[in-house]
Chains A and B, each alone.
Chain A
Amino acid sequence: MPLFGAIGVAGTGVTVYRKWLDAISDNISNINTARPTSAAAFQARYVVAQAVTSPDGTGGVQVGGIAFGSAAGRLVYDPQHPLADAQGYVRMPDIDLGNEMTQMIMAQRGYQANLAVVDRAKDAYQAAIQLGRN
């Protein structure tokens, strides 16, 4: 375990949750991105967290990979749309705003929780540095 290891471990959590927030904001901003029916729909991105295990006992978490949402999306009838096909359909991404918002709350709380760990660990280490004074 390196010196002040708890801060490093909580830091890996902060990074994963920030990337999760980045992915969610990308999904929400593309929720109305239409594509022609001949192309794949915008695919939502889902961050897959993975535990880090190392022999020296340093744990943590990392982004293990990205899972993609449906490429088929859903067909929406919108004949006025410039990308609409001959039947009047466009391909919209299959993203549920309610699901994205709840995930955003989870990601935000996870980010805050990891930063709280950093704060507490810093206090604990500071107390350890003062150990034996006076």
Chain B
Amino acid sequence: MSDVTVAAIHSALNGLALRQRVIADNIANINTPGYHAKKVGFESALASAVSGGTGAAGADVQTSLEPTRLDGNNVNLDQETLSNVDTGLRYQLMLRAMDNEFGLVRDSLRTA
């Protein structure tokens, strides 16, 4: 079991969980005048961390630059909903990967 793998999966899970919280925040503010949607990015930071030999990477939250509606709000409900579905699936995939990592430990303990 590699430390980099566990750390990378952990970073991905953290980033995805943050993205889901931010999506919830955006949808909650769909009718707030002047509210700008927020976007979470962690993939490129994680990719360079993994190629640099560590798996720990943080996520950054950026404000969306999409054009706003007349009330100054730029939350796009269908985009947020679909992003929520996508993020949920990615989270499941990462949990599965973490499960497989610990499965290796389980197997080796059983062999001993």
Q: Which residues of A contact B (CB under 8 A)?
A: 3-4, 7-8, 10-11, 14-15, 18, 118, 122, 125-126, 129
Q: In the bound complex, how far is the Cα of B77 from the Cα of A88, in angstroms?
A: 46
- Determine whether the beta carbon of B85 is less than 8 Å from that of A118: yes
Q: Enumerate 17 A-B pairs (CB-CB under 8 Å) in ascending A order.
A: A4-B86, A4-B90, A7-B82, A7-B86, A8-B86, A11-B82, A15-B76, A15-B78, A15-B79, A18-B78, A118-B82, A118-B85, A122-B85, A122-B89, A126-B89, A126-B92, A129-B93
The one of A11, A15, A129 in contact with B96, judged by C-beta atoms closer than 8 angstroms, is: A129
Cβ-neighbour of A7 out of B76, B85, B96 (below 8 A):
B85
Q: Which 8 A-B pairs have the closest CB atoms?
A: A11-B82, A14-B78, A129-B92, A125-B89, A4-B86, A129-B93, A7-B86, A4-B89
Interface SS of chain B: helix, strand, loop or mixed? Answer: helix
- Give the chain A neighbours of B96 by CB distance below 8 A: 129
The number of chain B residues touching the other chain, given as a range, is 10 to 19
Q: Give bound CA distance, A122 to B87, whole Å.
A: 11
Given A10-B82, A11-B78, A118-B82; 4 other pairs, CB 8 A cutoff? A4-B89, A7-B82, A7-B89, A118-B85
Interface readout for B75-112 with A: 1 if CB under 8 Å, 0 if not?
A: 01011001001100110110010000000000000000
Smallest CB separation, A75 vs chain B (Å): 31
Task: Contact check, A129 vs B82: say whether CB atoms are below 8 A apart.
Answer: no
Residues A129 and B78 in contact, CB atoms below 8 Å apart:
no
Give the residues from 41 to 58 in chain B that come closer than 8 angstroms, CB to CB, to chain A: none
Residues of B within 8 A of A18 (CB): 78
In the complex, chain A residues whose CB is within 8 Å of the CB of B86: 4, 7-8
- Which residues of the other chain, B, contact A125 by a CB distance below 8 angstroms? 89
Question: Which B residue's beta carbon lies closest to that of A17?
Answer: B78
Measured between alpha carbons, how far is A129 from B92 in the docked complex, in Å? 7
Distance of B12 from chain A, by nearest CB (Å): 12
The CA-CA distance from A4 to B93 in the complex, in Å, is 11
Q: How far is A14 from B76 in the complex, measured between Cα atoms in Å?
A: 11
* Shortest Cβ distance from residue B77 to the other chain A in the assembled complex, whole angstroms: 8
A5 CB to closest chain B CB (Å) equals 10
